[in-house]
Amino acid sequence: MRNLNLVHLNGLRALEAVARLGSLQAAAAELGVSIGAVSQQVIKAEAQLGQPVFHRLPKGMVPVDAARPMLARLSEGFQSLSEAVGIGRRRDETLLTISVAPVFAARFLVHRLDRFSALHPDIRLRIDATTAMADFVTDGVDLGIRVGAGKWPGVDAQLLLPQLVFPVCAPALAEKLKEPKDVLQLPAIIDGPSMFSWDVWFRAAGIEPRPMAVRHVFNEASLCLDATMAGEGVMLAWQTLAAYALDQGKLVEPFSIRAATGFGHYFVTRAGSRPPAKVKAFHTWLKAELAALEEPR
């Protein structure tokens, strides 16, 4: 490893990041330093190597052909170092770190964690509520729960529950609904970033899709649910979002018609890894909790 004495490690990190990301700006953001600092590290590393590594072009930093084999090895090496750090940061089997979307954590998970703790008092939980996909090597996360099509790179995704959507409203508004088309008489509470629209449910209910009168639009499903519980209108919800409010009688599912969105709730772990006992225990418990949501309430 004597060659490592010839070039400073920070310079090698800068070279690898710029080559992989294509610009000084992107590399600076990843490394957490200024663009000027990355530029100086690249210049210094090129001087220590005795040859240029990049073409400086208007579209960005492009590796010279002679440097590509070296840069590929650097990427492999830093990936191995990243994995080694992840292994070194692993905690004991008494702490389970879960990455989960905030709406799933707030509307479904927190109301049920006491049940898991009763079954597994030796496992402590740490909930990382975020919409970002976790890096299972560097983030210290044991598992993730995500809604989508299940095709995320670098992870194993096991389907837990197909996502079904259906109207929910406050009990007082539900009294006005005698048949599915009556939902058109109510103002709609809309989840702006939603991956589906009311047309999905209209088709399942045999109703010709048409515009609804919109009362409110929110950028967060939890806010939509709060407005719906307050009697502001009708919302198109899904199982894990509405389950607790339905159990508490704060919302009503007026019809037993549910529509598939093509998405699902997935249990996500690092690709190719062998889940430890604590992850398997949580998977078994969560699967049972979600199974209770498969039928209309």
Span 159-218, pLDDT tens digits = 999 999 999 999 999 998 999 999 999 999 999 999 899 999 999 999 988 889 999 999
Name the region of 50 (left: φ>0; alpha: ψ -120 to 50; beta: rest): left
Residue 99 lies in a domain: yes
Range of the domain at 124: 95-161+263-291
pLDDT bin (cut points 50, 70, 90) of residue 80 is: confident
Residues 283 and 267 in one domain: yes
d(CA 14, CA 47): 14
With beta carbons less than 8 A apart as the criterion, state whether 246 and 171 touch. Answer: no
First to last CA, the chain: 65
* Listed residue (265, 271, 285) closest to 145, CA to CA: 265
Q: Could you say which of 88, 123, 146 is where a domain stops?
A: 88
Residues 6+ apart with CB under 8 A from 250: 170, 229
Residues 123 and 269 in one domain: yes
Q: Which residue has the tokens 């889940």?
A: 275
Going by their DSSP bridges, the two strands 188-191 and 214-218 should be labelled as parallel
The residue-averaged pLDDT of 86-100 equals 77
Residues 205 and 145 in one domain: no
d(CA 31, CA 159): 35
The 3-state DSSP class for residue 208 equals coil
Residues 153 and 276 in one domain: yes
Residue 296 lies in a domain: no
State the average pLDDT for the chain: 90
d(CA 95, CA 278): 8
Q: Read off the pTM.
A: 0.69
How many structural domains does the chain have? 3
User: How many Å separate Cα 71 from the centre of its chain?
Assistant: 31
